[in-house]
Structure 1
């Protein structure tokens, strides 16, 4: 990161964006993947690395929503000062001539409180230096955050949010984001070495995520990123990095069930798109028919049932949750369970030995909580 002297270092502060409440879970993943100085902070994880590490974070991290590279931080209290400092930044080290840019700004507890004016000054300085244009649909996004008069400037190296991996062409209503599913699997203790069953699989997100992790498939293997449009990007080095992640067929299978035939068909299509169809099985069946697949060792059952978001709807779902809990208690001895829901009363209706793993997490505008069990007796 640069400071008031505007020097450029080989390493930058990388910021891995996480759903609020899951920063520690993402930090554990970042540390496992070898990212240096990984530390959970509100809204994400900070770590240290060069540009290649920013590329690698986009490629391999399953739980990050975005990867930001922080390029500058300085105190500022008026627009003329901001403009001068923005003009002094080495924009040509980051931006390519002719590649449009856009700036998003936020201001909090600062003398500069007009985010539009802040974005305008920084955008003008960057565009003039890099000989490019400002555009709302630009592939490069600059983020400016003013907090207590400290202006932090970052580049979004991801572009599209990282849950858009390009492997799920078909989705149902309010699908679970892949990044959130990966973090929930991690919270359930899943490490890619046991079978996973989702008895209400929807578009197959949990099953596909589990199979990808077991096979060692990089989540970012099939998509493009914003950093590919930035100065200094090396296509050969990037291809070499992607090709270095070598998957292998897991000795396990992963199962998804749904009472809706359309959801089963959707899941199969998505699994095929993700390259994990050979290791996944999807079938149409109700909860009452759920049993462990024959010859399958105990593993993890993870489920994201309906929530009943309107007044009175949740009570109607109690029998569904009760049936789920009864089936799991009677037939899944030795397995663990993870259940995501919005209301404690629904989790209670399952009558399983749940503990809450963390507080409520935002999912599509709703606050959901993961409830987990130990090994069922």
Structure 2
């Protein structure tokens, strides 16, 4: 069964940020984009699969839908899996891992599904099955329809390929990118993060402003598929047109180790020329020279690092500094606790829906330009 010229491509969103990813997908002009549970569905070719991995900042994984069939029992699944044209997508010399899920179907045992499909790939096609393989075939049986997908990304797309140093409770780059988007950041204004940790918000903002593709320095699972064309992929990456941003991006933290990591991460990302990181406390924070922009911060939550009670004073101090010194700036603050956000005294707009992050539900609180 050959794939249609345009097939379904599922772009996985961080839970709760489907709408923000949909906005990014539409900006990049992917075809037939529609928001669905867990992400965004588009239509496209393998070149669109590659492009999604290369350019989308908020997407976690790109799944290429390679086929589907109705299935009522395991013997039928075994037969159809053996008849499937695996060679159109997989390579015999590249090991494969199979994952499965079942919902509202006569076949309900996901382990049995994995076993049948893996055996079909090994025995009929000849590829090795390896639980640690980077190429993953995903089978989802829902309402007795088996949908087969390839995870074209491999490692999660928040792993940009240049951030080696991380501090406590790091924010994923995909979340940072979508929070910046929800704050209205487009790359034309300065960004300040007064509790920057390893620099995720600052580096992500600088990359956006510099038009640097998030996937430019890493490898992907699709490079090990039969559908991959190295020459076309090299041409696609070469079309990137980075620029020198019109503004700079600033991070500070009281932890000297975090600042050291942030500078090293910025150097590896290629944005050190227009980022600045400084060791200082919140009380010493002042706005940089130039136009106002966005202050975005992911402070400690209490549930995340240590005890929660002392944090009210920290949030209060942050709010005082921003109200007194950052007139005209917008603020984005990420926290698990609305009472901590209120402790800042900042005039927040109605909050965004909560987002799952590391087992916690975090919420982005935003302001209009401060008076």
Indicate whether the TM-score tops 0.5. yes
Report the counterpart of residue 358 of structure 1 in structure 2. Answer: 352
What CA distance in whole angstroms lies between the structure 2 residues aligned with 1:344 and 1:256?
24
* CA distance in structure 1 between the partners assigned to 2:349 and 2:253 by the alignment: 26
Match of 2:89 in 1: 94
Offset, 1:261: 0.7
Deviates more, 1:299-308 or 1:144-153: 144-153
- For the residues of structure 2 that align with 1:306 and 1:367, how far apart are their CA atoms? 14
Would the alpha carbon gap of residues 333 and 220 (structure 1) be closer, same or farther in structure 2, given more than 3 Å must change?
Answer: same
The whole-number CA distance in structure 2 between the counterparts of 1:354 and 1:363 is 21
Secondary structure of 1:338's counterpart equals strand
Q: 1:136 aligns with which of 128, 131, 138?
A: 131
TM-aligned CA deviation for residue 127 of structure 1 = 2.7
Between 60-69 and 119-128, the greater mean CA deviation after superposition = 119-128
Aligned match for 2:31, one of 36, 39, 61: 36
**Structure 1: gaps (5+ residues):** 1-5
Counterparts of 1:162-181 in structure 2 under 5 Å? 162-181=157-176
Tell me the distance in 2 between the aligned counterparts of 1:32 and 1:312.
40
Residue 84 of structure 2 aligns to a residue whose secondary structure is coil
Q: CA deviation at 1:232?
A: 2.3
Whether 1:298 and 2:289 are equivalent positions in the alignment is no
What TM-score, normalized by structure 1, do the two folds share?
Answer: 0.96
1:70-112 alpha-carbon deviations (Å, 9 max, x no partner) = 1112221100111122222211100111211010001122111
Give yes or no for contact 1:111–1:149 (8 Å, CA) kept in 2.
yes
Question: TM-score, with normalisation over the residues of structure 2?
Answer: 0.98
* Structure 1 residue ranges, 4+ long, deviating more than 6 angstroms after superposition: none
Partner of residue 80 from structure 1, selected from 75, 82, 88 = 75
Q: Which residue is 2:332 aligned to? A: 338
Q: Secondary structure at the residue paired with 1:315?
A: coil
Distance in 2 (alpha carbons) for counterparts of 1:236 and 1:129? 30
Q: Is residue 237 of structure 1 aligned with residue 257 of structure 2?
A: no
Q: Is the 8 A contact 2:8 2:43 kept in 1?
A: yes
**Matches of 1:166 and 1:311, distance apart in 2:** 26
SS in 1 for 2:19: helix
* Offset, 1:124: 1.8
- Number of aligned positions between the proteins: 371
Q: 1:145 touches 1:152 (CA, 8 Å); kept in 2?
A: yes
Matched residue, 1:225: 220
Query: What residue in structure 1 maps to residue 310 of structure 2?
Result: 316
Give the Cα separation in 2 of the matches to 1:232 and 1:179: 27
Is the Cα contact below 8 Å between 2:196 and 2:251 reproduced in 1? yes
1:92–1:129: 8 Å Cα contact kept in structure 2?
Answer: no
Aligned mate of 1:153, from 144, 148, 151: 148
Structure 2 counterpart of 1:266: 261
In the alignment, what sits opposite 2:41?
46
After superposition, the CA RMSD in angstroms is 1.3
- For residues 100-148 of structure 1, what are the alpha-carbon distances to aligned partners after superposition, in whole Å with 9 as ceiling and x for unaligned? 1010001122111111110111112223343211001112100011122
C-alpha contact 1:356 1:370 (8 A) present in aligned 2: no
Question: Counterparts of 2:304 and 2:2 in 1: how far apart (Å)?
Answer: 54
- Paired position in structure 2 for 1:325: 319
Cα distance in 2, alignment partners of residues 327 and 47 from structure 1: 44
Question: 1:27 matched to which residue of 2?
Answer: 22
1:69 to 64, 72, 77: 64
Deviations 1:287-336 (A, max 9, x none): 01111112x21000000000001899323210100111111011111100
Contact 2:14/2:174, CA 8 A, preserved across alignment: no
Name 1:55's counterpart in structure 2. 50
Q: Which residue of 1 aligns with 2:301?
A: 307
Q: Which residue number in structure 2 is paired with residue 3 of structure 1? A: none
